[in-house]
Amino acid sequence: MVRPASLLLAFTALAAAATALTCPAGTWKQGDHCQACQSGYQCPDGVNQTPCNAGTYANSGNTACVTCPAGSKCPNSGLSAPTPCDAGQYQSMPGQSNCNPCPAGTYTGATGQTGCCPCCVGSFNSQTSQTHCQACANGKNSPAGSTGQNQCTGTAWTSPPTCTTPSTATTCPATSQRRARSNAKAKRTCPKFGQKLCPILYGRGGSECVDVENDLESCGGCMDADESLGGGVDCTQISGARDVACRRGKCVVTRCAPGYQVAEDRTTCVPSMKMQAAAARSNAKVHAAFARSHL
* 269 and 195, same domain (yes or no): yes
Cβ(130)–Cβ(118) under 8 Å? no
List, for residues 245-262, the tens digit of each pLDDT value.
898 899 999 888 888 889
Evaluate whether residue 91 is within a structural domain: no
pLDDT value of position 229: 56
pLDDT value of position 140: 76
Evaluate whether residue 235 is within a structural domain: yes
- At 250 the three-state DSSP class reads strand
Hey, what amino acid is at 77? Answer: S
Distance CA 108, CA 295 (A): 41
pLDDT value of position 184: 40
* 191 and 294, same domain (yes or no): yes
Domain limits for position 160: 97-164
User: Phi and psi of 17, rounded to 5°?
Assistant: -65, -40
Cβ(173)–Cβ(163) under 8 Å? yes
Beta strands 241-247 and 250-256 are antiparallel
Please state the pTM of the whole predicted model: 0.53
Evaluate whether residue 151 is within a structural domain: yes
- Number of domains the chain contains: 3
Distance set, CA 271 to CA 93, 97, 246, 261 (Å): 17, 26, 22, 6
* 180 and 159, same domain (yes or no): no
* 240 and 196, same domain (yes or no): yes
* Nearest one of 84, 70, 72, 79 to 52, comparing CA atoms: 79
* 141 and 180, same domain (yes or no): no
* 216 and 281, same domain (yes or no): yes
Distance CA 211, CA 165 (A): 28
Evaluate whether residue 282 is within a structural domain: yes
List, for residues 37-93, the tens digit of each pLDDT value.
889 999 888 888 889 999 999 987 788 889 999 999 999 999 999 999 999 999 989
* 128 and 201, same domain (yes or no): no
* 101 and 55, same domain (yes or no): no
Beta strands 250-256 and 27-30 are unpaired
* 294 and 178, same domain (yes or no): yes
* Nearest one of 61, 127, 67 to 295, comparing CA atoms: 61
Query: The dihedral of CA 177, 180, 181, 183: what is its sign?
Result: positive
Expressed in angstroms, the distance from the first to the final Cα of the chain is 46
* 195 and 228, same domain (yes or no): yes
Evaluate whether residue 19 is within a structural domain: no
Cβ(74)–Cβ(83) under 8 Å? yes
* Nearest one of 202, 136, 135, 127 to 165, comparing CA atoms: 135
* 283 and 188, same domain (yes or no): yes
Evaluate whether residue 159 is within a structural domain: yes
The alpha carbon of 113 is separated from its chain's Cα centroid by a whole number of angstroms, namely 4
Q: Please, what are the averages of pLDDT over each run of 10 residues along the chain (295 residues)? A: 53 51 85 88 88 91 87 94 93 94 90 88 89 82 85 62 50 51 50 78 64 86 65 82 87 86 89 67 57 57
The domain boundary residue, chosen from 43, 61, 84: 84
The domain boundary residue, chosen from 164, 195, 212: 164
Evaluate whether residue 6 is within a structural domain: no
The domain boundary residue, chosen from 84, 106, 136: 84
Give the CATH number, domain containing residue 45: 2.10.50
The alpha carbon of 88 is separated from its chain's Cα centroid by a whole number of angstroms, namely 12
* 74 and 114, same domain (yes or no): no
Evaluate whether residue 18 is within a structural domain: no
CA angle 52, 273, 269 (to 5 degrees): 120
**Taking phi first (over 0 means left), then psi (-120 to 50 degrees means alpha), and beta for anything else, what does residue 237 get?**
alpha
* Residue 72 C-beta-side C-alpha neighbours within 13 Å: 16
Q: Which residues contact 181 (CB under 8 A, 6 or more apart)?
A: 158, 208, 209, 210, 211, 215
